[in-house]
Chain A
Amino acid sequence: MLGLPELQASFARALLGFGDDAISDAIAEDGLSRELRLDIYRNTVLVSLTDALAATFPVVCRLVDERFFRYAAAEFIRAHPPERPCLSAYGEGFAHFLAAFPACRELVYLPDMARLEWLMHRAAHAQDAAPISPAALGGLAEAEMPRLVLELDPSLGLVSSPWPIDRIWRANRCGADGAERIDLSSGGARLEVRRVADEILLGTLDPGRFAFRAELQRGSTLARAAEAALAADSGFDLTRALADLFREGAVVAIGLAPPEDLRS
Chain B
Amino acid sequence: MNGADAVYKVTNGSASMPARAGIGLRGPHMAEIAATRPAIGWLEVHTENYIESGPGLRRLEAIRRDYPVSLHGVGLSLGSAEGLDASHLAALAALAARIEPGLVSEHLSWSVTGGVYLNDLLPLPYTEESLEVVCWNVDRVQQALGRAILVENPSAYLRFRHSPISEPEFLSALAQRTGCGILCDVNNIYVTAVNFGFDPAAYVDALPPAAIGEIHLAGHFRTERRDKTLLIDDHGDRVVSPVWELYERALRRFGRVPTLIEWDKRLPELPVLLDEAARADAVAQTALGEGAHARAA
Interface residues of A (CB under 8 A from B): 1, 3-5, 7-9, 11-12, 15-16, 25-28, 30-34, 36-38, 40-41, 44-45, 48-49, 52, 81-89, 124-128, 154, 195, 198
Tell me if B54 is interfacial: C-beta within 8 Å of chain A. yes
Say yes or no: B116 contacts A81, CB within 8 Å. Answer: yes
In the complex, which of the residues A26, A38, A45 contacts B161, with contact meaning CB atoms closer than 8 Å?
Answer: A26
- For A6, give the chain B residue with the smallest CB separation: B81
Contacts A4-B81, A84-B85 given; does A27 touch B158 at CB 8 Å = yes
6 tightest Cβ-Cβ pairs between the two chains A and B: A85-B75, A37-B158, A8-B113, A127-B54, A4-B81, A5-B81
Chain B interface helix/strand/loop/mixed: mixed
Tell me if B170 is interfacial: C-beta within 8 Å of chain A. no
Say yes or no: B116 contacts A28, CB within 8 Å. Answer: no
Report the minimal beta-carbon distance from A35 to chain B, rounded to whole angstroms: 10
Report the minimal beta-carbon distance from B6 to chain A, rounded to whole angstroms: 24
A26 to B129, CA, bound (A): 15
Tell me if B120 is interfacial: C-beta within 8 Å of chain A. yes
Which of B76, B124, B157 has the most A CB atoms < 10 Å from its CB?
B157
User: Which chain B positions have C-beta within 8 A of A88?
Assistant: 49, 52-53
A144 to B113, CA, bound (A): 49
Contact with A along B115-131 (1 / 0, CB 8 A): 11111101011010110
A8 to B116, CA, bound (A): 11
- Listed by A's residue number, 25 A-B pairs whose Cβ atoms lie within 8 Å are A3-B129, A4-B124, A4-B133, A8-B80, A8-B113, A8-B122, A15-B118, A26-B125, A27-B158, A28-B161, A30-B159, A44-B119, A81-B116, A81-B117, A82-B119, A84-B87, A85-B48, A85-B74, A85-B75, A85-B76, A85-B77, A85-B85, A85-B88, A88-B49, A88-B53
Contacts A8-B113, A26-B125, A127-B54 given; does A45 touch B232 at CB 8 Å = no
Report the minimal beta-carbon distance from A174 to chain B, rounded to whole angstroms: 15
Contact with A along B255-266 (1 / 0, CB 8 A): 000000000000
Say yes or no: B157 contacts A41, CB within 8 Å. Answer: yes
A83 to B92, CA, bound (A): 17
Say yes or no: B161 contacts A87, CB within 8 Å. Answer: no
Among the listed stretches B8-16, B177-185, B222-230, B288-296, which one makes contact with chain A, having 4 or more residues with CB under 8 Å of it? Answer: B222-230
In the complex, which of the residues B112, B157, B197 contacts A85, with contact meaning CB atoms closer than 8 Å?
Answer: B112
A81 to B197, CA, bound (A): 34
Tell me if B3 is interfacial: C-beta within 8 Å of chain A. no
Contact with A along B44-58 (1 / 0, CB 8 A): 000011011111101
Say yes or no: A12 contacts B113, CB within 8 Å. Answer: yes
Report the minimal beta-carbon distance from A155 to chain B, rounded to whole angstroms: 8
Say yes or no: B116 contacts A83, CB within 8 Å. Answer: yes
